[in-house]
């Protein structure tokens, strides 16, 4: 990374009035600025007297360098693995009280999903049929799609979707493991999601302990499940929320 900046100045007196980007074709300046700790001081913000002690507008090269790393990391999560910051320039006015930061970056090509596989690692034929049916039913709801750009947020959304449906069907120990294979030369990704549902479970005996102020019967009354029912993650979460309301 090549760092270009103006001569040394008193950083505690230099106020950033503008932050601009060059080379950002995919994301707007406002989106990239939202990843930064350093903020430009606009006219509206200068009128906010209650925020007069906020130092986010004061230039600091260390903070700016950390912000540049955050921007590169943001691009990586959005599927741009080759993004780099080429240079940054700090332009000051004559009395060196105000500054404009210009960031030059190269986005590079994004990673495209060439193939998306779902691999089911089930213990029994019952589990394979039950979980396989669930996966087939929700496959059309995946955010990750072949031919589209890869995004970390979409991977998280799809793993959450799989987890919730499997865990609500009796599988308390379900795990989803992404297994990526990237062709660096072509920026093409083959992604396999390995789904390990674990054993099929039912709710066992219910015992209440540690209830010093609330009777056990009141706690049990708040449960959204009963003994010998098939395990359901949503029922567990609902029960916890209702029990907390008793305290």
**Average confidence score pLDDT of the chain:** 90
Q: Report pLDDT digits (tens) over 49-106.
A: 444 555 678 889 999 999 999 999 999 999 999 999 999 999 998 877 899 999 999 9
Strand-pairing partners, residue 195, are: 120, 176
Which helix (H) or strand (E) segment holds residue 227: the answer is none
Contacts of 229 (CB under 8 A, 6+ apart): 202, 203, 235
φ/ψ of residue 191, rounded to 5: -115, 125
Q: pLDDT by residue (tens digit) across 156-188?
A: 999 999 999 999 999 999 999 999 999 988 999
Q: What percent of the chain has pLDDT over 90?
A: 79
Name which of 197, 191, 199 is nearest 134 in CA terms: 197
Alpha-carbon dihedral 110, 111, 113, 119, rounded to 10 degrees: -150
| Chain centroid to CA 184 | 23
Q: How far apart are CA 202 and CA 207, in angstroms?
A: 15
d(CA 186, CA 146): 15
pTM of the model: 0.82
DSSP, collapsed to helix, strand or coil, labels residue 79 as: coil
Tell me, rounded to whole angstroms, the distance of Cα 218 from its chain centroid.
38
Q: How many helices (H) and strands (E) does the chain have?
A: 7, 6
Strands 98-106, 15-22: pairing is parallel
Per residue in 232-245, pLDDT tens? 999 999 999 999 99
- Helix (H) or strand (E) run with residue 215 in it: none
Read off the pLDDT of each residue in 220-230 and give the average, rounded to a whole number: 96
């Amino acid at each position: 990374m090549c760092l270009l900046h103006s001569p040394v100045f008193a950083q505690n007196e230099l106020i950033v009035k503008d932050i601009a980007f060059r080379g950002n074709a995919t994301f707007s300046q406002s989106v990239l600025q939202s990843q930064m700790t350093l903020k430009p001081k606009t006219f509206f913000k200068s009128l906010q007297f209650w925020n007069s002690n906020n130092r986010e507008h004061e230039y600091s090269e260390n903070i700016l360098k950390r912000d540049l790393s955050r921007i590169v990391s943001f691009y990586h999560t959005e599927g741009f693995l080759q993004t780099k910051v080429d240079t940054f320039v700090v332009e000051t006015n004559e009395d060196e009280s105000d500054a404009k930061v210009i960031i030059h970056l190269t986005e590079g090509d994004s990673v495209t999903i060439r193939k998306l596989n779902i691999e089911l690692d089930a213990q029994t034929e019952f589990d394979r049929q039950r979980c396989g049916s669930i996966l087939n039913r929700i496959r059309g709801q995946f955010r990750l799609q072949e031919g589209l750009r890869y995004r970390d947020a979409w991977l998280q959304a799809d793993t959450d979707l799989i987890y919730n449906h499997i865990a609500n069907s009796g599988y308390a120990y379900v795990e989803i493991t992404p297994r990526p294979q990237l062709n660096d030369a072509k920026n093409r990704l083959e992604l396999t999601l390995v789904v390990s549902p674990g054993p099929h479970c039912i709710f066992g005996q219910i015992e209440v302990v540690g209830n010093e102020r609330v009777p056990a019967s009141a706690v049990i009354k708040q449960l959204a499940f009963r003994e010998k029912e098939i395990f359901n993650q949503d029922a567990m979460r609902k029960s916890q929320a209702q029990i907390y309301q008793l305290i």
